[in-house]
């Protein structure tokens, strides 16, 4: 039995590190194990312009533990009114790594997202021209569409037309949640890649709703059926170049998770790389962990992999239950808090 595995330092290609007190509390959990992370722009207000991106990057860097070499990659929140010139400036100045599409009202802090897809075509044309990545929350928000079908319908209705209209535009379909998503990404690679979270490969909707409504299984896109989970798990552990790591770690204060309308999102950064290692190990695929966690993502983004390494060892430890947050937010619960985790990162 493998006791230790050393891999190139992983990157998190989909992460919410928030702002202010929550940022200061949660960022160290990612910086301890990851070289870089795509920092999602769905703040209040969102990171909409290059100037917003410069300011947010400075706030993230200021929240890092002393001596950390972690590099935040900032993204631009796409709206109906995004200016292609500003996006290009942000990309050329090294401020923005990509542009993120949230369909309006699809998820947390997406009210300012896209409502009219025709209006974003000039931005997409510019991104195609300059080689800038397009990151997508791929869910159709038409109320006639069942919440479990949102990803599949978005692919048919929006994504396939975009990839045909802009064949040189490199796309990331984030937090894949369905077999339809997996099959589509495989068929559209290498133009399209997909990130996969720890919880979509570990849980199905029966875990979430079958024995009481468990708000700490609620995220967007929602966790789906067992056959979806198995397709996602096989894709992640396959080592195929089009699938890579994106935790979607998304802390919320406890009161927001437990409100009448509860917030979507799970805070998994404290156990993220360890959970992926466990899944790959359970499936006899530890040999593919480095491709998924550390190589496929940089290749899809056109960036070099990290030079540093991390070592994971088979040592049981107990995940902390919560993270304290300064100020009125107080605390956020941790995914798998209190559970025994069989792998840990060697300090
Ligand atoms: O569950 C989610 N939480 N999905 C998202 O797309 C956003 C995220 C958040 O920001 O909380
Ligand atoms: Zn997210």
Q: Which domain holds residue 217?
A: 4-345
Contacts 24+ apart (CB under 8 A), 324-331: 324/25, 325/21, 325/22, 325/25, 325/253, 326/21, 326/24, 326/25, 327/20, 327/21, 329/21, 329/22, 329/253, 330/253, 330/254, 331/253, 331/254
For the chain, residues with pLDDT lower than 70 are 329
pLDDT score for 296: 98
CA dist 27 → 21, 60, 66, 267, 323 (Å) = 10, 8, 12, 11, 11
Q: How far apart are the first and last CA of the chain?
A: 21
Q: What number of CA atoms fall less than 13 Å from residue 115's CA on the CB side?
A: 4
pLDDT score for 327: 86
Per-residue pLDDT tens for 90-135?
A: 999 999 999 999 999 998 899 999 999 999 999 999 999 999 999 9
- Longest Cα pair distance anywhere in the chain, in angstroms? 55
SS3 at position 239: coil
CA dist 128 → 41, 124, 191, 338 (Å) = 21, 6, 11, 46
Please tell me the residue having the least CA distance from ligand 1 atom 10: 108
Indicate if ligand 1 lies below 6 Å from the C-beta of 250: yes
Catalytic residue among 11, 12, 248, 329: 248
21 exposure class (CB count in 10 Å sphere: 0-12, 13-18, 19+)? middle
Please tell me the residue having the least CA distance from ligand 1 atom 7: 108
pLDDT score for 329: 67
Q: How many residues does the chain have?
A: 347
Please tell me the residue having the least CA distance from ligand 1 atom 8: 265
What Rg value do the Cα atoms of the chain yield, rounded?
A: 19
Q: How many domains does the chain have?
A: 1
pLDDT score for 95: 98
22 exposure class (CB count in 10 Å sphere: 0-12, 13-18, 19+)? buried
Indicate if ligand 1 lies below 6 Å from the C-beta of 137: yes
283 noted as active-site residue: no
Gap from CA of 43 to ligand 2 centroid (Å): 11
Q: CATH no. for residue 229?
A: 3.20.20.140
Separation between Cα atoms, residue 16 and residue 191, nearest integer Å: 25
pTM over 0.75: yes
User: Which ligand 1 atom minimizes the distance to the CA of 40?
Assistant: 10
């Amino acid at each position: 039995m493998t006791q230790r595995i050393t891999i190139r330092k992983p990157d998190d290609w989909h992460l919410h590190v928030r702002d202010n007190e929550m940022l200061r509390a949660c960022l160290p959990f990612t910086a301890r194990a990851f070289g870089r992370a795509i920092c999602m722009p769905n703040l209040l207000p969102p990171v909409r312009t290059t100037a917003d991106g410069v300011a947010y990057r400075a706030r993230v860097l200021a929240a890092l533990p002393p001596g950390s070499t972690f590099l935040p990659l900032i993204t631009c929140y796409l709206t109906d009114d995004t200016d292609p010139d500003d996006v290009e400036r942000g990309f050329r100045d090294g401020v923005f790594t990509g542009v993120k599409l949230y369909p309006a009202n699809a998820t947390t802090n997406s009210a300012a997202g896209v409502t009219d897809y025709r209006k974003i075509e000039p931005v997409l044309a510019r991104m195609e021209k300059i080689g800038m990545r397009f990151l997508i929350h791929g869910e159709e928000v038409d109320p006639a569409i069942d919440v479990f079908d949102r990803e599949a319908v978005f692919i048919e209705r929006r994504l396939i037309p975009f990839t045909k209209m802009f064949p040189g535009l490199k796309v990331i379909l984030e937090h894949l949640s369905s077999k339809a998503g997996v099959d589509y990404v495989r068929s559209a690679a290498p133009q399209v890649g997909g990130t996969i979270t720890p919880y979509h490969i570990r849980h199905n909707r029966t875990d979430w709703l079958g024995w009481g409504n468990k708000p700490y299984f609620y995220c967007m896109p929602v966790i789906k059926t067992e056959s979806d989970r198995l397709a996602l798990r096989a894709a992640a552990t396959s080592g195929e170049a089009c699938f890579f790591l994106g935790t979607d770690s998304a802390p919320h204060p406890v009161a927001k998770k437990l409100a009448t309308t509860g917030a979507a999102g799970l805070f998994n950064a404290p156990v993220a790389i360890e959970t992926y290692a466990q899944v790959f190990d359970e499936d006899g695929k530890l040999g593919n962990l480095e491709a998924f966690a550390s190589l496929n993502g940089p290749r899809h983004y056109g960036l070099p992999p990290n030079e540093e390494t991390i070592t994971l060892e088979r040592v049981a430890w107990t995940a902390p239950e919560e993270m304290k947050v300064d100020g009125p937010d107080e605390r956020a619960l941790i995914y798998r808090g209190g559970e025994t985790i069989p792998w840990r990162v060697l300090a």
